[in-house]
A and B are shown apart, each in its own frame.
Chain A
Amino acid sequence: DSGVTQTPKHLITATGQRVTLRCSPRSGDLSVYWYQQSLDQGLQFLIQYYNGEERAKGNILERFSAQQFPDLHSELNLSSLELGDSALYFCASSVDGNSPLHFGNGTRLTVT
């Protein structure tokens, strides 16, 4: 158990809809990262937050947004969903910006 909790585990929704994925980092970790992994694809880095502030941005679409709250949990919002957004979305956390990442077990999003 990595200590990183992601909810929900599964999400099925229709095209055009909006969903929110939630991540609770390991106790004491200040940094949160979001990754997208499509079927048989690699991990695509989306965005990183550190102690509530955006630290780095990767291949995140404009339809996607995220934030990290004062209690350090994070939410990834996906809007105007398309079939191609179907993927596993992973959250990871680390103590600071230089420590190894600890991943949750992901949220599997299916857009129909």
Chain B
Amino acid sequence: LAKTTQPISMDSYEGQEVNITCSHNNIATNDYITWYQQFPSQGPRFIIQGYKTKVTNEVASLFIPADRKSSTLSLPRVSLSDTAVYYCLVGLYNNNDMRFGAGTRLTVKP
């Protein structure tokens, strides 16, 4: 079971780049790394998924070093609406490894 460790909370200001790092030391060879965003009283929303190196989409980038024991979600130029909890999830979905950690509560200030 790939356990993940993230900071409990982070603060940032509008317009800044935010990087949230997730540690997953016992990641398995076939595990993917997926990040979700959750607003209060809403279901988590898929942000980005990667296996190795770097992945970029219209909302974020995901950096994964060669050893894959950690990953960093990068949010460019955050706004107040990016205030949310961000979860890192590691594992395959067709086994029992789809357990979310505590997540990182990001607060963006004006």
Which residues of A line the B interface, CB within 8 A?
2, 4, 31, 33, 35, 42-43, 45, 48, 50, 55-58, 88, 90, 92, 94, 96-106, 108
Which residues of B line the A interface, CB within 8 A?
32, 34, 36, 41-46, 49, 87, 92-96, 98-103
| Given A31-B93, A45-B99: A2 touches B43 (CB 8 Å cut-off) | yes
Instruction: Please determine whether A100 and B98 come into contact, CB atoms closer than 8 angstroms.
Output: no
Instruction: Please determine whether B93 and A42 come into contact, CB atoms closer than 8 angstroms.
Output: no
Instruction: Please determine whether A103 and B44 come into contact, CB atoms closer than 8 angstroms.
Output: yes
Given the complex, which residues of B lie within 8 Å of A58, measured CB to CB? 96, 98-99
**Nearest CB of A to B39, in Å:** 10
- Judged by DSSP, the binding face of A is strand
Given the complex, which residues of A lie within 8 Å of B43, measured CB to CB? 2, 4, 90, 92, 103-106
Instruction: Please determine whether A98 and B94 come into contact, CB atoms closer than 8 angstroms.
Output: yes
Instruction: Please determine whether B46 and A102 come into contact, CB atoms closer than 8 angstroms.
Output: yes
Instruction: Please determine whether B41 and A106 come into contact, CB atoms closer than 8 angstroms.
Output: yes
Q: How far is it, in angstroms, between the C-alpha of A108 and the C-alpha of B42 when the chains are bound?
A: 10
Contact of B46 among A43, A88, A97, A101 (CB under 8 A): A101
Q: Which residue of A lies closest to B92 (CB)?
A: A98
Q: How far is it, in angstroms, between the C-alpha of A105 and the C-alpha of B98 when the chains are bound?
A: 19
| Given A42-B103, A99-B93: A33 touches B98 (CB 8 Å cut-off) | yes
| Given A90-B43, A105-B42: A98 touches B102 (CB 8 Å cut-off) | no
Given the complex, which residues of A lie within 8 Å of B34, measured CB to CB? 100-101
**Nearest CB of B to A86, in Å:** 14
Given the complex, which residues of B lie within 8 Å of A103, measured CB to CB? 43-45
Q: List 18 A-B contacts (CB under 8 A).
A: A4-B43, A31-B93, A42-B100, A42-B101, A43-B100, A45-B98, A45-B100, A55-B94, A56-B98, A58-B96, A58-B98, A90-B43, A92-B44, A97-B92, A97-B93, A98-B93, A101-B36, A104-B43
